[in-house]
Amino acid sequence: MRFDRKLLKNLDWQLWLAMILISVFGVVVLRSASLGAMPHNPSYYAKRQILWILLGNAFIVASLYFDYRLLLKLVKPIYAMNLALLVAVLLFGQKGGGAQRWISLGGFLLQPSEFAKVFTIVAFAHYLETRGKIESWSDLVKAGIVVGIPMALILVQPDLGTALIFAAFFLGMLYAAGTDLRYLAGLVGLGVLAIPFMWTFVLEEYQKMRLIVFLNPENPMYRTHGGYHVTQSLIAVGSGQLVGRGFMQGTQNIRSFLPAQHTDFIFSVLAEEFGFVGAVLLIGLFVFMMQRMLKIALDAKDEFGRIATIGVLVLTLFQVFINIGMTISIAPVTGIPLPLVTSGGSAYLSYCMAIALVLNIGMRRQKILF
């Protein structure tokens, strides 16, 4: 296959540049977060993140060579591999933080649930393109199975946060496919009705505690029991004020009052050291990325491209909102990473795969005119 350089005229460089800027911002914040997380090796997480950035963007460059429609010939193997990895986690995975979510491959800890998000978006977009509009509850059930199987495997790890991401892009992609709003409202209603069952039979005790803390943030007993993370995060965010304490000057971070500062609460480090201005800058870059994704979705040449791009957009929106929301106590703590900023190879590389798909769809939105 020969690559047509004229395609580069359609490449959304703005989206890619925004992604790289966020990644660089993330490395800067991780360099500071490492002071508290690993004081004996303060460059550890930043150096590893630089490696993921290089690998992820190299993958994007390579993927642009291939037409995204080639993925449709591989949907079944991709979906099967997706399920196989998730089952392997349950059988052979390593435990940590109360969950079993990782597989060790050659010294590298792979988190299949991160890649499952992208694989499932591809498979579900293909299903909706070939199946057509959802016109009955039976159609909806069949569509739900495509997303529901990997979602259920992730839920039993247990990983409630990632499972909720699946629910979010499931609804978003159904809406993009033209599903009647009555069915979407019915799904939301069923989700609400399922809460008592989830509480009794699905959620672990620590997950219940997180929800209780979220619903009762003013209760003094939760400041040291159950709600310590959120309490310290609010102190960090609040102390940043307008322009922050300065790079590597955040006391909550450096003195290790703030837990998980390089993962779940990386935004708290950013807000403490760069203040309101830094937080708005980061959020603005994410909003800009999502605006570019929406444009690509609207201009896509086929249903698969449009629906898949909306899936990635919803994935981005949900993760950004929930991750930042949990640091300022407007969302429960769920362990959802902040895209491109949170430390972690699986999270970064899988999101690069999602962006590569969107860029590819945008680049091939129309035939090249000579």
Q: Got the DSSP string for 251-278?
A: HHHHTT-STTTTTTTHHHHHHHHHHHHH
Q: Tell me how far apart the alpha carbons of residues 360 and 352 are, in angstroms, rounded to a whole number.
A: 12
Burial tier of 325 (Cβ tally within 10 Å: 0-12, 13-18, 19+): middle
Question: 343 with 262: CB under 8 angstroms?
Answer: yes
Residue 369 placed within a domain: no
Does the residue 247 lie in any domain? yes
And the tokens for 8?
């580069």
For position 269, what pLDDT does the model report?
93
Asked if the structure places residue 368 within a domain, the reply is no
Q: Could you tell me whether strands 99-105 and 108-110 are parallel, antiparallel, or unpaired per DSSP bridges?
A: antiparallel
Amino acid 335: pLDDT: 82
Q: Is residue 342 part of a domain?
A: yes
370 occurs within a structural domain: no
By three-state DSSP, how is residue 99 classified?
Answer: strand
115, 350 contact by CB (below 8 A) = yes
* Residue 226 resides in a domain: yes
Per-residue pLDDT, 370: 36
What is the pLDDT, as a whole number, of residue 115?
Answer: 96
Going by the DSSP 8-state scheme, the letter that residue 5 receives in this structure is G
Q: Is residue 209 part of a domain?
A: yes
Total number of domains in the chain: 1
Per-residue pLDDT of the chain (370 residues; tens, 9 = 90+): 566 777 888 899 999 999 999 999 999 999 988 877 677 777 888 999 999 999 999 999 999 999 999 999 999 999 999 999 999 999 888 876 667 788 887 777 889 999 999 999 999 999 999 988 888 899 999 999 999 999 999 998 888 899 999 999 999 999 999 999 999 999 999 998 988 888 887 788 878 888 877 777 666 666 666 677 788 888 899 988 999 898 888 888 887 788 888 888 899 999 999 999 999 999 999 999 999 999 999 999 999 999 999 999 999 999 999 999 999 988 888 889 999 999 989 999 999 999 999 999 999 987 544 3
* Residue of 329, 319, 200, 203 lying closest to 263 (CA atoms): 319
Residue 49 is assigned to a structural domain of this protein: yes
Residue among 87, 79, 77, 68 at smallest CA distance from 145: 79
Distances (CA, A) of 326 to 233, 273, 313: 9, 18, 20
CA distance 170 to 173: 5
pLDDT of residue 223: 64
Helix (H) or strand (E) holding 109: strand 108-110
What pLDDT, on a 0 to 100 scale, did the predictor assign at position 216? 74
User: Which residues constitute the domain of residue 9?
Assistant: 5-363
